[in-house]
């Protein structure tokens, strides 16, 4: 009886995990199908029905994830910008020894992303701010995650003496996140914006800020 109870309990605990995985797989299938259609025929020319057919899902399934095509675009844009933040930071910590090297590696990563983005990515990323209005749950969650990642990196640098500045880690993290967000928005709205050159300027500013002791 005890073993049966444990088995039942474990099954009940596992089921939400399986359901969540299925949801993530369905969402990924929808977004992959949409992304391919956007490239093949353009964002404006792609309908929800076409996305559903390509992803092999019912319309009601689509609407259980997105209220309309604009929300689909916005969520895809958020993933383009923010979903790789934590894996990127983990990789930077593993691959680089110093805080300055990690910040510089982050700039390299962002620059590489921009060189791989195309006009479809630009249109998708333009929609991201519609999901990130101040006060929304997603805005607060993403803000906390991005800020927390950079604060953790900076505090580790302070602990070993690499970061030597009176400016708080919170302010430096705010400057980094704000700069990256602003440059991304400018790139998305202006095809001629020199985003790589501006990122190089940001690299120089961030590196100076880490070691500028004005005390």
Position 206 in a domain: yes
Position 70 in a domain: no
Last residue of a domain, one of 40, 65, 90: 65
Do 130 and 32 fall within a single domain?
no
Position 58 in a domain: yes
**Total domain count for the chain?**
2
| Residue 114 belongs to domain spanning | 76-211
Last residue of a domain, one of 65, 88, 117: 65
Do 23 and 108 fall within a single domain?
no
pLDDT score at 128: 78
Using CA atoms, how far apart are residues 72 and 70, in angstroms rounded to an integer?
A: 5
Mean pLDDT score, 142-164: 86
Position 11 in a domain: yes
At 78, which helix (H) or strand (E)?
Answer: helix 69-82
Percent of the chain predicted with pLDDT > 90: 55
Residue-wise pLDDT tens digits, 73-83: 988 988 887 77
Q: Does residue 5 carry a pLDDT above 80?
A: no
Contact predicate 162/100, CB 8 Å: yes
């Amino acid at each position: 009886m005890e073993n049966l109870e444990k088995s039942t309990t474990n099954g009940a605990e596992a089921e939400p995990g399986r359901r969540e995985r299925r949801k993530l797989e369905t969402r990924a299938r929808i977004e992959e199908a949409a992304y391919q259609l956007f490239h093949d025929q353009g964002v404006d020319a792609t309908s929800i029905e076409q996305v559903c057919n390509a992803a092999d899902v019912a319309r009601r399934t689509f609407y259980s994830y997105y209220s309309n095509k604009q929300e689909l675009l916005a969520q895809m844009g958020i993933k383009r910008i923010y979903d790789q933040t934590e894996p990127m930071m983990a990789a930077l910590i593993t691959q680089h020894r110093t805080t300055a090297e990690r910040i510089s590696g982050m700039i390299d990563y962002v620059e590489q992303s921009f060189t791989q983005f195309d006009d479809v990515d630009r249109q998708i990323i333009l929609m991201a701010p519609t999901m990130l209005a101040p006060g929304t749950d997603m805005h607060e969650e993403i803000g906390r995650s991005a800020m927390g990642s950079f604060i953790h990196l900076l505090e580790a640098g302070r602990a070993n003496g690499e970061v030597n500045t009176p400016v708080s880690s919170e302010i430096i993290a705010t400057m980094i996140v704000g700069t990256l967000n602003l440059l991304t928005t400018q790139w998305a709205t202006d095809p001629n914006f020199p985003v790589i050159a501006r990122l190089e300027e940001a690299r120089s500013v961030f590196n100076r800020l880490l070691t500028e002791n004005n005390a």
